[in-house]
């Protein structure tokens, strides 16, 4: 009788369940899993830190609709991978962390890298379990995959002890399970569909907020049809960007604060009224703003503000229901309202306020001027990754997306250091697309060693570092008579030379006049590049009415 190892069974089960990408670091005891993964045709990317590997796995999950896998060694490897589990759980993105573990027969003995791994992973997971019999591996993989993508997507953890990885069972004894079908698409209660449209129709100043739940649900066609049919103004969340074109005439992105503050009825679809949406509360929102809420998770209904109409179920299906019901209605939101005029006026005012910074050609440059050239250079099919405080915040306003699931950033958890993992995932999932990662100099530092991973795998990621020499802002000169302030980094640090060190191409840009040409050179280079743009240390954001964290 033929026998199969736990490692091979794990790889086979993942492949059967549609897991196509694995990111990890090998060592004791997981090396055989990585080897088996390659054998069965899973794309394996060896990374330099499990943190980045776990970020990559969830981005692959979000982009493909099936969870990405992250493979780590025991103990510290799993601990590093927890960063990504937490981030995936907060972003509602699917991934499976597979942690190696000390052999079960040494449990409790102080064995090599022994840790209570299931216990420490559990707070960040929808499902976390140790595999205790080799023949049950397909059971656990099916369960982990299903849990990660059904309902609100999220993270799962499987613990693989050394004796399970190396253990062998007869093929005939292996338990087999069906491949998890696409998540069921639940429809909303019909009367709530009517009530939702009634609520929008009754609004004086309506606003639709489109979140990344709609991108995950692949609802772009339905959402576009809904917005164009109703003519309702909409705001995309940071990663909801692209579900509708950011340059759509009904986008209120350029008048975000005003639109949120004055709307009387908001339709929150696939987004949460958390810190990113200022909890739906004053001063960022009107007191007692009326809420129509579409979410796959019933527990989310009414979070922070009461919901007037709840549409519980799948985004694509429910917006489809709304569109069908609209066929029997005449109503649409007119073009010539005070509300649309006020939004347009505010947007024009905001655009005028930043124009001098966009036009400022002085050296060293500022964020807006640098992003002007980056925006012109980024093609519409590119995946854009953003991280860093000002770099990401200003980038959200200055780098548009035209199509869904092409924007990845620090997200719900506000995690710095996701950039390289996300870029590597995007490059592996979308080899046909340009991958552009725009990082602050602090942000790139968290996982800069993954530049080596990109070079080794010949992933042609185009990195741009907006380098102001600090966290937040930098300083013009290091003090000689005082300690280095906590947020200050090396002035003019040569991140471009890190890229050169590993075989990619690096560029240093001191004068913004050179930026457009250098970006074109980077694009033409067939491999990873890093363009290091030196910014004025005090460059900042346009003055805001509210800081990001204003409650
Ligand atoms: P954003 O950061 O874009 O505002 P969030 O991550 O805060 O987005 O919210 C996304 C929401 O989308 C979550 O509440 C999640 O439950 C919901 N969601 C996930 N999948 C679906 C789906 N298929 N249909 C509808 N809503 C979904
Ligand atoms: Mg900085």
Domains and CATH numbers, the chain: 3-173 (3.40.50.970), 190-342 (3.40.50.1220), 360-534 (3.40.50.970)
Instruction: Quote the CA–CA distance of 211 and 272 in Å, as a whole number.
Output: 8
For residue 317, give the ligand 1 atom closest to its CA: 24
Which ligand is in closest contact with the Cα of 235?
Answer: 1
Please indicate whether residue 235, judged by its CB atom, sits closer than 6 Å to ligand 1.
no
The whole-number pLDDT of residue 551 equals 54
Q: How far is the CA of 481 from the centre of ligand 1 (A)?
A: 51
Residue 324 CB neighbours (<10 A): 10
Q: How far is the CA of 444 from the centre of ligand 2 (A)?
A: 9
For residue 412, give the ligand 1 atom closest to its CA: 2
Instruction: Quote the CA–CA distance of 69 and 58 in Å, as a whole number.
Output: 8
Please indicate whether residue 280, judged by its CB atom, sits closer than 6 Å to ligand 1.
no
Mean pLDDT, the chain, integer: 97
Closest alpha carbon to 422 in 443, 441, 442: 443
Please indicate whether residue 93, judged by its CB atom, sits closer than 6 Å to ligand 1.
no
Extract the residue ranges of the chain whose pLDDT is less than 50.
none
Q: How far is the CA of 38 from the centre of ligand 1 (A)?
A: 33
The whole-number pLDDT of residue 542 equals 72
The whole-number pLDDT of residue 63 equals 98
Which ligand is in closest contact with the Cα of 474?
Answer: 2
Q: What are phi and psi of 488, to 5 degrees?
A: -95, 135
Largest CA distance in the chain: 78
Ligand 1, atom 3: closest residue by C-alpha: 211
Closest alpha carbon to 410 in 5, 27, 86, 50: 86
Residue-wise over 509-545: b if at least 16 C-beta within 10 A, else e? Answer: beebebbeebbeebbeeebbbbbbbbbbbebebeeee
Ligand 1, atom 6: closest residue by C-alpha: 91
The whole-number pLDDT of residue 521 equals 98
Instruction: Quote the CA–CA distance of 106 and 40 in Å, as a whole number.
Output: 31
For residue 210, give the ligand 1 atom closest to its CA: 3
Which ligand is in closest contact with the Cα of 488?
Answer: 2
Tell me which H or E stretch contains 224. helix 220-230
Which ligand is in closest contact with the Cα of 367?
Answer: 2
Instruction: Quote the CA–CA distance of 235 and 546 in Å, as a whole number.
Output: 17
Residues with CB under 5 A from ligand 2 (ion): 440-442, 468
Residue 178 CB neighbours (<10 A): 9
């Amino acid at each position: 009788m033929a026998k199969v190892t736990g490692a091979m069974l794990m790889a086979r089960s993942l492949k059967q369940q549609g897991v196509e990408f694995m990111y990890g670091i090998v060592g004791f005891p997981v090396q055989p899993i990585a080897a088996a993964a390659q054998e069965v045709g899973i794309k394996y990317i060896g990374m330099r830190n499990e943190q980045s590997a776990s970020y990559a796995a969830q981005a692959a999950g979000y982009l493909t609709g099936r969870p990405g896998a992250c493979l780590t060694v025991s103990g510290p490897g799993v601990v590093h991978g927890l960063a990504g589990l937490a981030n995936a759980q907060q972003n509602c993105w699917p991934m499976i962390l597979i942690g190696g573990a000390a052999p079960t027969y040494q449990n409790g003995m102080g064995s090599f890298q022994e840790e209570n791994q299931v216990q420490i992973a559990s707070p960040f997971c929808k499902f976390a379990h140790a595999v205790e019999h080799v023949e049950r591996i397909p059971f656990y993989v099916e369960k982990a995959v299903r849990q990660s993508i059904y309902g609100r997507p999220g993270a799962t953890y499987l613990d693989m002890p050394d004796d399970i990885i190396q253990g062998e069972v007869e093929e005939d004894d292996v338990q087999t399970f069906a491949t998890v079908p696409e998540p069921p698409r639940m429809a909303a209660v019909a009367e709530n569909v009517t009530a939702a449209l009634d609520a929008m129709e009754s609004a004086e100043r309506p606003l639709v907020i489109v979140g990344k739940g709609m991108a995950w649900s692949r609802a772009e066609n339905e959402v576009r049809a809904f917005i164009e049919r109703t003519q309702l103004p909409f705001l995309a969340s940071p990663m909801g960007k692209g579900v509708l074109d950011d340059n759509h005439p009904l986008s209120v992105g350029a008048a975000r604060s005003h639109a949120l503050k004055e709307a009387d009825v908001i339709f929150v679809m696939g987004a949460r009224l958390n810190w990113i949406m200022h909890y739906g509360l004053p001063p960022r929102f009107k007191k007692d703003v009326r809420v129509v809420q579409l979410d796959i998770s019933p527990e989310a209904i009414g979070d922070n503000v009461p919901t007037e109409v709840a549409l519980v179920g799948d985004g694509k299906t429910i917006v489809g229901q709304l569109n069908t019901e609209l066929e029997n209605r005449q109503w649409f939101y007119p073009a010539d309202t005070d509300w649309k005029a006020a939004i347009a006026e505010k947007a024009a005012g905001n655009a005028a306020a930043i124009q001098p910074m966009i036009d400022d050609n002085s050296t060293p440059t500022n964020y807006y001027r640098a992003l002007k050239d980056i925006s012109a250079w980024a093609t519409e099919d590119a995946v854009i990754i953003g991280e860093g405080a000002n770099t990401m915040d200003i980038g959200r306003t200055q780098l548009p997306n035209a199509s869904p699931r092409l924007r990845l950033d620090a997200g719900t958890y506000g995690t710095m250091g996701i950039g390289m993992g996300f870029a590597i995932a995007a490059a592996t999932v979308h080899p046909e697309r340009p991958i552009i990662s725009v990082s602050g100099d602090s942000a790139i530092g968290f996982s800069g060693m993954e530049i080596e991973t990109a070079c080794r795998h010949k992933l042609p990621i185009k990195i741009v570092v907006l380098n102001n020499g600090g966290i937040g802002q930098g300083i013009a000169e290091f003090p000689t008579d005082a300690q280095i302030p906590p947020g200050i980094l090396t002035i003019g640090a040569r991140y471009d030379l890190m890229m050169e060190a590993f075989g990619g191409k690096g560029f240093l840009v001191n004068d913004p006049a050179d930026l457009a040409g250098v970006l074109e050179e980077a694009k033409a280079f067939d491999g990873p590049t890093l363009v290091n743009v030196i910014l004025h240390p005090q460059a900042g954001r346009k003055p805001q009415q509210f800081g990001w964290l204003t409650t």
